[in-house]
Structure 1
Amino acid sequence: MTSDPVRVGILLDPDDDVTVTRTLLAFHDPATETFVMHPSATSRRPRDVAHDVLVALGAPAAALGAQGLARAGNAWAAVRAWVSAYRIDYLIVLRAHRFDADTWEHLIDLTRTTEISLLLVCHTPMVPAVLAATVRGVTCRVTDFAGLLQLADEQPALRPRRTRPQPRRRYGDLPAGLPVSQVMHYRADVYRRQPPEVFALVDELYGRGLDTACRWLQPPQRLAVGETTFAGERLQRLLAELVHDSPSRQHTLALLRGLQAGFLLHGHWLAIPNLANLAGPGTTSPPVTAETVARIRAGVAHPVLAAGLALALITGVDLAALQSLRLDALVAPMHQVRIPFDVGEVRGASKQRYAAGAPPRSVAVFYVAPAARPLLHAARAFLLARHPGDRGQRLFAGFDPVREHLEQAAAQCGLTLPAAPPDLVGYWPMRVRWSRHDRPVHTATPRHPAPGRSCMTAVTPAAYPVLAPAPYRYLHERVGKRWHDTGRSPGVVVHLVHAFLDGTAALRGSYQHTGRKRRLRVLEQDLIACHFAVRTPPVPFHDEVTVHPDIAFALRLTDRPAPAEARRPR
């Protein structure tokens, strides 16, 4: 038969020895989730003690009343929420003999509703009668200073534990003015126009995106050939997670172009909208790091307001989108937040500016970084404690208008919210289109070697410079027209890539009939003009086309792109 773990310890210090107090204060270490609370001189009642506990946990004392924690019920609900969300192990309470019976009951109840262990320090020769009555039926241990070290050995929470910080991806500094080309030519343009060290930084990000696509598309996704759809919840989460900690739009673009290349390698096409005026991760959303969360905890005491500030940063959309957010949007393990969207509810200028290109109805999915998840856990725990069973309650019902409260909280934390971001209709991952056009270029099982080589198809880029002549026959075939799109371009591009790898004619096999040769010539000219294809050497005498060198380079199938074009004469 096993005994219940000792969750409550009572330390008697009848002489009020300063050595005991100093020894206990030395245990305070947030890194090991061990906290020491030294109550203020007037703290005896539940509300005051709850405020002292919140301050010991890192909350700002000056904000407790202004943020809705003036009442004892709300204050203790906040204590339980923070303790539960951060899995705090141990709380040492000094001068506990001064508390009244209700305060003792709240402290003991904390061990019943969370996994915390308490050490209650009474500077008296014996356990106060009020405390003795409160802990009746609770497994506890009474000790003195001589037994403190033994208690520390037996209570695992008092032993410092090693915390493993969440790994943070590194991003190198990128210069201004990097190319913003489409995926077909993005990698090639960076290769041609930037120094090798800049290309290496961009290509590392590009490889992350390519690896992410290859892993996500194994096993093959259930999308029929020829089917096109808006990004669903799984794809939105993939997009948001890939770029959630991106420090700039240039880093975001490199990651997304690599992701598009990975989709193309698997016979899929990912149409990503122009991010210039849209909202979301990697654009209007700043990275929410452990440092950001620490600033939120130091400036905000209320769990719901802290979660709201984190969501304002994570979503990067107008704060009005959070006004109607309900509790059921926060679901364990808090790795994502879902906000329903209906384009019919968009009004005013946002409808004129953003409605085109948005899905009729969708659910916007936002990825939550690991550092921010405890904030959402705490908000959910607080609301369920105050309104048990009501999982459809509005998340920010107690903070109306939410914009004003969040802006004030951001100012207190020294954080800057996105300036005039678009409404939810401008959330870019929700506007991404996904289609399937052909079989995969490769079917290798993803692995984890160097970046961009997860499916073992990548070719290392060649050294500079590219000395071959540019593969263009006429002046009008040059860069100026490569932005033009054709309705079937993704499918044709994948077909060109397969023919390039197989060593077969790209288009001739489908156009052998004499009556279709004219259409073939028109298609070839169109593909060449859009820089999807070039004529096979020797140019201009050969009558076949092959995939553009930039596209093969974008998919890491060759070691160099097309050479840079000669400048046009003025």
Structure 2
Amino acid sequence: MTVVVDADDDYHITRAALGAHDVANGVLAVHPTVGVSAMAALAQDILVALGKLPTAVVKEPLTATAMWMITTAWVIGMDIRQLVILRAHRLPRPALARLVQLAADANTSLTLVWHARPPARWEGLLPTATIRILQAGAAPVAADEQQPPVAAFADVPEQQCSPLMSKQRQEQARLVMCQALPEVPQSNVLHFRANAFRALSREDFARVDLLYTSAMDAACAFLSAHPDYCKEIQTSAGVDLHGDGKESGDRDVPDGQVAERLKFALDDLAVQVGGLPSASASLPRPWEDREAIARFVTELVVAAPSHAHTVALLHGAQAGFLLHGIHLVIPANPEKLGGPGFVDPPLTPAVAEQIRSHIIDPVRAGALAAFLATGLSAWWLSLISMCRLAPDASILRAYTPFKIGYPIPLWARDLLAAARAFAVLQNCDDDERFLATGIGVGGQTLADTAQRCGLNLREFMLDGHRDDWRLQMRCFWVALPFHPRDHAVRRSPACT
């Protein structure tokens, strides 16, 4: 703990301390309410400094112990690494001791700004703290002694074929994710782009096409890094197709087995899929790694701000898969099933901030954020244990018919991290259901939390027997990859 002694109550010291406040970068500066000495009041001041609405903080009928536990959970969840408290000389001894405990629980550095003459013995005032004394002006008030290492970006897998989009168009596609889109045609993948061109204005189509093309590139990048696809292109690089369309190893496959395999293709694309080039008797066959496909499409659409954005991205991904000989089947009317990309309201940065500012209870805030991010029914969500949340809160894993990792948008991860921290502070085990109390029977608590934030949940989303659209999604090989396979094998580091 650091104590900055400012015996002259220098205005510049106070200004520097308040100027260091930057919650996004882990620095929290708190100016306690003057004339209030209650223990709960200091915790409320910290919550307000974290971005909570004062009215939401004050109206919570909580004891001082509960308020401090909630405050600690939010400090941990929002990754506050430096806590600066001004007017520390006016705080009672119990409040100072509680700040030391908060810093220890949250593993954060504590800086007290002492705007008065120091006491004769600091050990008598703060017996449990290791104190470093700084005179005003000796060092920056909120200087962090050990800056956390900056995480390096992982290398992006080299694509099997050249990207369709330039860097400039990629930046334009990111901007489209923040813009409104009109309603898009309800067409299958083979007709979507043409129908969108006919139905939309030139400007609207250009925005939809940016998302569509970016999803095609994302599909290629995903396949380039997947071992199943890499193995396939290695195997098919030397395939000798005969005039009858069968590979040399499949010429003797009985017609009954070929017909059985073709049942996978008799869906919404029917004859069109059967017309893809390079078909053989071993195709179509299912793609085995359903979890990877589910993870890819979820990451693709989780940040989509509307159904129109989601539909454009999904059809672009389908087109990208087809270019690689793979058919990704999306169920009809996915918006009626719910799930990532089709949650109403979507978990945008603005919605996450509404939850963060209006809700004090970290479990209720985390439950609502998880509900909007995953699209899981309230019943499924209530079963998820604490150990299913990744250490950085980037992934929430659930076991439905098969294991799925639900990516949590960057702007909402602190909400789930705070819910987990609150459970840990209550000595919950890793296998306990840490969101259950924020959901309630039949999702009633969830709906009440959303209403407090000014959000309205669609009633069918709370149905405990609902399966989201990805559980009805299928994926299978329908053709050999049709880029130049010698070029693909040579360029792809993932396939060597």
Q: TM-score when scaled to structure 2? A: 0.72
2:218 is matched by which residue type in structure 1?
A: T
**Match of 1:507?**
none
**Match of 1:371?**
411
**Match of 1:548?**
none
Distance in 1, Cα, partners of 2:17 & 2:200: 59
Is 2:208 the counterpart of 1:202? yes
**2:363–2:434 Cα contact (<8 Å) kept:** no
Q: What residue ranges of structure 2 are gaps of 5+ in the alignment?
A: 151-170, 230-281, 490-496
1:170 is matched by which residue type in structure 2?
A: L
Distance in 1, Cα, partners of 2:456 & 2:289: 30
**Match of 2:219?**
213
**Match of 1:53?**
46
Name the SS of the counterpart of 2:397 in structure 1.
strand
* 1:392-431 map, 5 Å: 392-397=432-437, 400-401=440-441, 403-421=443-461, 423=464, 425-431=466-472
Aligned-pair CA distance for 1:26 = 4.2
* 1:137-148 map, 5 Å: 138-144=129-135, 147-148=136-137
* 1:218-237 map, 5 Å: 218-219=224-225, 221-222=227-228, 226-228=284-286, 232-237=290-295
User: Does the C-alpha gap of structure 1 residues 46 and 269 become closer, same or farther in structure 2, counting only changes over 3 Å?
Assistant: same
* 1:490-505 map, 5 Å: none
Name the SS of the counterpart of 1:170 in structure 2.
helix
User: Does the C-alpha gap of structure 1 residues 308 and 220 become closer, same or farther in structure 2, counting only changes over 3 Å?
Assistant: closer
1:112 is matched by which residue type in structure 2?
A: A
**Match of 2:303?**
245
User: Does the C-alpha gap of structure 1 residues 262 and 15 become closer, same or farther in structure 2, counting only changes over 3 Å?
Assistant: closer
**Match of 1:554?**
none
Deviations 1:272-321 (A, max 9, x none): 10124210122234442332222222111222121112122223344344
Aligned-pair CA distance for 1:238 = 1.0
Q: TM-score when scaled to structure 1? A: 0.63
**Match of 2:316?**
258
Is 2:420 the counterpart of 1:380? yes
1:82 is matched by which residue type in structure 2?
A: W
| Matched length | 413
**1:335–1:368 Cα contact (<8 Å) kept:** yes
Is 2:185 the counterpart of 1:179? yes
Deviations 1:31-58 (A, max 9, x none): 5543332223454454332222222222
2:469 is matched by which residue type in structure 1?
A: W
Q: What residue ranges of structure 1 are gaps of 5+ in the alignment?
A: 1-7, 342-360, 447-570
2:300 is matched by which residue type in structure 1?
A: L
Is 2:66 the counterpart of 1:74? yes
2:27 is matched by which residue type in structure 1?
A: T
User: Does the C-alpha gap of structure 1 residues 99 and 128 become closer, same or farther in structure 2, counting only changes over 3 Å?
Assistant: farther
**Match of 1:125?**
117
Distance in 1, Cα, partners of 2:185 & 2:23: 45
**1:284–1:317 Cα contact (<8 Å) kept:** no
Deviations 1:362-392 (A, max 9, x none): 3454321111112111111111121154432
**Match of 1:30?**
23
Aligned-pair CA distance for 1:97 = 2.9
Distance in 2, Cα, partners of 1:222 & 1:20: 60
Once superposed, what is the RMSD of the aligned Cα atoms? Answer: 3.7
**2:294–2:404 Cα contact (<8 Å) kept:** yes
Distance in 1, Cα, partners of 2:226 & 2:21: 51
Calculate percent identity across the aligned residue pairs: 31
Aligned-pair CA distance for 1:339 = 2.7
Distance in 1, Cα, partners of 2:85 & 2:338: 46
Distance in 1, Cα, partners of 2:225 & 2:4: 59
Deviations 1:246-287 (A, max 9, x none): 233333222111211221222211111012421012223444
**2:339–2:375 Cα contact (<8 Å) kept:** yes
User: Does the C-alpha gap of structure 1 residues 208 and 285 become closer, same or farther in structure 2, counting only changes over 3 Å?
Assistant: farther
User: Does the C-alpha gap of structure 1 residues 191 and 21 become closer, same or farther in structure 2, counting only changes over 3 Å?
Assistant: closer
Distance in 2, Cα, partners of 1:297 & 1:170: 24
Larger Rg, first or second structure (1 or 2) = 1
Is 2:175 the counterpart of 1:170? yes
Distance in 2, Cα, partners of 1:127 & 1:199: 70
Q: Which of 188, 194, 201 is equivalent to 1:188?
A: 194
User: Does the C-alpha gap of structure 1 residues 28 and 195 become closer, same or farther in structure 2, counting only changes over 3 Å?
Assistant: closer
User: Does the C-alpha gap of structure 1 residues 192 and 32 become closer, same or farther in structure 2, counting only changes over 3 Å?
Assistant: closer
User: Does the C-alpha gap of structure 1 residues 416 and 445 become closer, same or farther in structure 2, counting only changes over 3 Å?
Assistant: farther
1:265 is matched by which residue type in structure 2?
A: L
Q: Which of 429, 434, 439 is equivalent to 2:480?
A: 439
**Match of 1:340?**
399
Aligned-pair CA distance for 1:89 = 3.4
Distance in 2, Cα, partners of 1:363 & 1:158: 38
Distance in 1, Cα, partners of 2:465 & 2:395: 16
**2:364–2:435 Cα contact (<8 Å) kept:** no
| Higher RCO by CA contacts (8 Å cutoff, separation 6 or greater) | 2
* 1:443-482 map, 5 Å: 443=485, 445=488
Name the SS of the counterpart of 2:228 in structure 1.
coil
**Match of 1:458?**
none
Name the SS of the counterpart of 1:151 in structure 2.
coil
User: Does the C-alpha gap of structure 1 residues 262 and 17 become closer, same or farther in structure 2, counting only changes over 3 Å?
Assistant: closer
When structure 1 is superposed on structure 2, of 205-214 and 229-238 the one drifting more is 229-238
Distance in 2, Cα, partners of 1:368 & 1:80: 22
Distance in 1, Cα, partners of 2:126 & 2:475: 61
Question: Which structure has more helix as a fraction of its residues?
Answer: 2
